[in-house]
Chain A
Amino acid sequence: MASSRIEVQGLSKSFARRGEARLPVLQSIDLQVEPGEFVCLLGPSGCGKSTFLSIVGGFETADAGSVSIDGAPVTGPDPRRILVFQEYGIFPWLSVEENLGFGLQSLVPAERARRVAHWVEAVGLGGFEKALPAALSGGMRQRVALARALAVEPEVLLMDEPLGALDSLTRQAMRAEVARLWRRLKPTVVFVTHDVDEAVLLADRVVVMSARPGRIVEIVPVAIPHPRRFGEPDYVTVKRRLYRLLGLSDEV
């Protein structure tokens, strides 16, 4: 899979409000994500993380600043950059197979079927090809969403709390799955999460954002080789640092 460089410069965004001044949501964001890099976005609720991904995905436009991918400005959504949502992203009227093949309609049927079969196996959904999303567990649905995105071999994967709706056991399993797929395919990833552990386990760098209007407080590199483990000294160091930046205490 090819991957791309994301360049964000001076990005600001605000939303109009009824009878009030515009709500500033993002303020002067500068960020470069290298090809094949995994960046996590960590920040308080409402600080503009989803808005940031929407703009990078081409669904919304910025007030100021620029977003370009491999040097080309982003003007709209594109199958080379797939946004994965927390929930409900897959089509409930299509079977698992049909969802996985949704982005592959330009392929000849045989090639499409081959790719779908590959992804069914890759995310462990064998036996559920014909099932509708309603018949799947939350974790399985999220695997469908992930596989549907990866099946089009995107250069950039934008994930908005993709594991947020899962219970903690499923979440850990899915996290390992994401890490494994990313190491194999190496797309450029921007991954939004509320979970500090998740960020430390997955990211090459963690972007810590302030409360709204969201600014980048600090970018923390995570130089721990994969596979990563909870509780190792380096791990704990990074985690403590993130807690401090977020203004959280590491005691309960």
Chain B
Amino acid sequence: MKRGERILLPLAFAGALLLLWSQWAKGGGGGVTDFPTPAETLRGFQHLLGTPPGEPAPLLLKHVVASLFRTTFGFLFAALLGIPLGLLLGMSARAHAALNWLVQFLRPISPIALIPISIMVFRGDDLRAVFLIFYAAFFPIAITTAAAASSVPPVYVRAGRNFGLKGLALVRQVIVPAALPQIVTSLRVAAGISWLVVVAAEMLGVQGGLGWLIIDARYQGARTDLIVGTILIIGVLGLGIDLLLRRLERHPRVSWSRHEHG
């Protein structure tokens, strides 16, 4: 593919999509009442980006910050606890025997089901959302890390021990670097899940944030322009989060495994 095509093709497709959307919305939205046209959505954006009287900053900013803040902390706690626990489960048969059943039991419970409990147990919307995101991100990270740590080829562990490493030094210099590509992939997956969960939590009880903004727009006289505008922003931010973690995957300490086998 030529460079020009690489830029032109997505642009052309985006244009076509916009045109279709606009024609469809103008024609009554196929029965969906008040589905906004692209132009109306743009005005919705302007409204969201505008600073209401008496507020220090645009309406949107507060909610974007709230959602991102919650996601960041929930995700970071999940990584901070999930990686060490995963390493422990992957390396110690005893830890695995003691804890794996619990992990396997908790893992399939949807964090959405925990929203009421989170609201009852925790004070403050941020903490409630952070807990739910933590819960959602923790298991994929811990389980993938455990699998990665337990499948480190024994020859690397032997080589590490042969050069005098044991205990934490062996974990830090052999197990973690060998498992890192899979750990980072699990982080990327978990970040995606975190972003899905924060919006759901904010739509189902946690106050503030982009999910709440959607619900709020609905109650404010079904402002579909604001709803669609917010959805687009959620998409763009989700993409941004993914791109950030993709950069992590390109780090040489992570990308080596892709060169390794073919």
Flag if A134 contacts B164 (CB, 8 Å): no
Q: Which of A67-125 contact B (CB under 8 A)?
A: 76-79, 81-83, 85, 88-94, 102-103
B98 lies within 8 A of chain A by Cβ? no
Flag if B155 contacts A132 (CB, 8 Å): no
B24 lies within 8 A of chain A by Cβ? no
Flag if B163 contacts A132 (CB, 8 Å): no
B250 lies within 8 A of chain A by Cβ? no
A136 CB, min distance to chain B CBs, angstroms: 11
Residues on B with C-beta less than 8 A from A82 are 162-163
Q: Which of B43-89 contact A (CB under 8 A)?
A: none
Residue pairs across A and B with CB atoms within 8 Å: the count is 56
Interface string of B123-159 (1 = CB under 8 A from A): 0000000000000000000000000000001011011
Q: Give A152 to B159 CA distance when docked, in angstroms.
A: 13
B253 lies within 8 A of chain A by Cβ? yes
Flag if A83 contacts B156 (CB, 8 Å): no
Q: Give A135 to B255 CA distance when docked, in angstroms.
A: 13
B180 lies within 8 A of chain A by Cβ? yes
Residues on A with C-beta less than 8 A from B159 are 85, 89-91, 102
A59 lies within 8 A of chain B by Cβ? yes
Among A77, A88, A102, A152, the residue within 8 A (CB) of B153 is A88
Bin chain B's interface residue count. Answer: 10 to 19
Residues on B with C-beta less than 8 A from A134 are 256, 259-260
Q: Give A135 to B174 CA distance when docked, in angstroms.
A: 20
A214 lies within 8 A of chain B by Cβ? no
Do most interface residues of chain A lie in helix, strand or loop, or is the interface mixed?
A: loop
A57 lies within 8 A of chain B by Cβ? yes
Which chain A residue shows the least CB distance to B180?
A93
Among B155, B163, B177, B257, the residue within 8 A (CB) of A103 is B163
Among B162, B177, B259, the residue within 8 A (CB) of A91 is B177
Which chain A residue shows the least CB distance to B258?
A134
Q: Give A88 to B157 CA distance when docked, in angstroms.
A: 11
Flag if A85 contacts B259 (CB, 8 Å): no
B190 lies within 8 A of chain A by Cβ? no
Residues on B with C-beta less than 8 A from A79 are 162-164
B79 CB, min distance to chain A CBs, angstroms: 20
Q: Give A152 to B164 CA distance when docked, in angstroms.
A: 11
Residues on A with C-beta less than 8 A from B257 are 92-93
B96 CB, min distance to chain A CBs, angstroms: 20
Q: Which of B12-66 contact A (CB under 8 A)?
A: none
Among B161, B163, B178, the residue within 8 A (CB) of A93 is B178
Residues on B with C-beta less than 8 A from A81 are 162
Flag if B256 contacts A93 (CB, 8 Å): yes
Which chain A residue shows the least CB distance to B177?
A93
A15 CB, min distance to chain B CBs, angstroms: 15
Q: Give A79 to B177 CA distance when docked, in angstroms.
A: 21
Residues on A with C-beta less than 8 A from B253 are 93
Given A77-B161, A77-B162: A135 and B155 within 8 A (CB)? no
Q: Using a CB–CB distance below 8 Å, which chain A residues touch chain B?
A: 57, 59, 76-79, 81-83, 85, 88-94, 102-103, 132-135, 152
- What are 11 A-B contacts defined by CB distance under 8 Å? A59-B158, A77-B161, A77-B162, A78-B164, A83-B162, A88-B156, A89-B159, A91-B174, A91-B177, A103-B164, A152-B163
* Pairs A-B, 9 closest by C-beta atoms: A134-B259, A103-B163, A77-B161, A93-B177, A79-B164, A93-B256, A77-B162, A134-B260, A92-B260
